[in-house]
Chain A
């Protein structure tokens, strides 16, 4: 009888340990939505810079952020402004560190698609006898990292750096879409 009581106590202790672990997991299940609009300067090779308008929307839960980003190409400057259009759409996942703090660094990967048009290379349209610059849709990828700073309940500051890779292909010469891009601004969170 004494033995059975001891065995029962051990079993109850083991089960309670498991139950406590599950309880901790439950407490971490918090989520929030994020949204922001900002300007994003980009840096290309051959001393060229670009400027984009960036819109971002994210869903954060348990250190994981699912996020979509849209970049609207505004203009480019420098020695070789190679695109007249380079709008991009991304969606991917970010891992956030220190989610219990106001300052939250993160790193992530986003595949995407670029709607681009070369300003350098056009091709002859034999029927119209005019040079045409084809708009094409090309896959891109980007690795990004940055930090959010949650100062107030509804707002946060963010700074981010990303490297974009891909190639603009069309009916004429290809052009690399590779770019280093920065973004910073104020976002809204729920």
Chain B
């Protein structure tokens, strides 16, 4: 019986060593990162590619904040270009803080600048048909960090962003020679909800542990 207890204790101690997972995220962590974003399932049936940066300030062991900036461009079927700038912040909620994989739920708010530029040619100047808009948006989704080392993590997130405010008045019309981008400077455009999915991959580096 005595030897059985010894073996059992030994197994428990060894198991605790094997399964004790390292803590990668802690309150006070400050991270800097770069991100690439793809915008899909939005107003237009085309995807956009974006680049941006972010900083993370972790308030508690299970709650982080992310402050980001994105620049996204989209080709509208060769008939024009849409450009979007996002500047905003998100809150990340962690269910756990150990292990290399750390999933999270994310929700936040951002300001959005959008510009739609119709195609001009050597014979036609359509710069006066350009439409722009500032709006506000909220976003939420899921993500996960994967720690490549103590300080570096790779993060993937999928968020649905919902724009609040006036929408941009433009349509892609199919013609015999291709698509035509029709824009409308309507200052009284109705307010409606417009959303899209943002898929983001980011690389982040922990620069400090402040508290």
Nearest chain A CB to B8 CB, angstrom units: 11
With contacts A95-B148, A113-B71, A167-B75 taken as known, whether A141 is within 8 angstroms of B122 at the C-beta atoms is: no
B59 within 8 A of A: no
Q: Once bound together, how far apart are the Cα atoms of A166 and B35, in whole Å? A: 15
In the complex, chain B residues whose CB is within 8 Å of the CB of A7 = 6, 9
A117 within 8 A of B: no
A112 touches B148 (CB 8 A): no
In the complex, chain A residues whose CB is within 8 Å of the CB of B83 = 169
* Residue ranges of B at the interface with A (Cβ–Cβ < 8 Å): 2, 5-6, 9-10, 13-14, 16-17, 20, 34-36, 49-51, 71-75, 78, 81, 83, 117, 119-127, 148-152, 154, 201, 203, 205
Nearest chain A CB to B74 CB, angstrom units: 7
A112 touches B13 (CB 8 A): no
In the complex, chain B residues whose CB is within 8 Å of the CB of A165 = 49
A167 touches B152 (CB 8 A): no
Chain B CB within 10 Å, residue with most, of A95, A141, A171? A171
Which residue of A6, A61, A111, A136 contacts B35 across the interface (Cβ within 8 Å)? Answer: A111
A169 touches B73 (CB 8 A): yes
* Residue ranges of A at the interface with B (Cβ–Cβ < 8 Å): 3, 6-7, 10-11, 14, 17-18, 61-64, 66, 91-93, 95, 109, 111-113, 122-126, 131, 136-141, 165-167, 169-174
Nearest chain B CB to A14 CB, angstrom units: 4
Q: Once bound together, how far apart are the Cα atoms of A179 and B195, in whole Å? A: 32
A174 touches B75 (CB 8 A): yes
Closest chain B residue to A61, Cβ basis: B149
Q: Once bound together, how far apart are the Cα atoms of A24 and B205, in whole Å? A: 22
With contacts A10-B10, A174-B78, A174-B81 taken as known, whether A122 is within 8 angstroms of B122 at the C-beta atoms is: yes
A141 touches B75 (CB 8 A): no
In the complex, chain A residues whose CB is within 8 Å of the CB of B117 = 170-171
Known: A123-B120, A124-B123, A141-B51. 12 other contacts (CB 8 A): A10-B10, A11-B13, A14-B17, A18-B20, A66-B203, A93-B203, A111-B36, A122-B122, A123-B127, A138-B49, A169-B81, A173-B78
Q: Once bound together, how far apart are the Cα atoms of A136 and B121, in whole Å? A: 16
In the complex, chain A residues whose CB is within 8 Å of the CB of B203 = 66, 92-93, 109
Q: Can you pick out 20 interface pairs between chain A and chain B where the beta carbons lie within 8 Å of each other?
A: A10-B10, A10-B13, A14-B14, A14-B16, A18-B17, A61-B149, A64-B149, A66-B152, A66-B205, A91-B34, A93-B148, A123-B120, A124-B121, A136-B73, A141-B36, A141-B51, A166-B49, A169-B74, A170-B81, A170-B117
With contacts A7-B9, A14-B13, A64-B148 taken as known, whether A92 is within 8 angstroms of B73 at the C-beta atoms is: no
B49 touches A10 (CB 8 A): no
A139 touches B51 (CB 8 A): yes
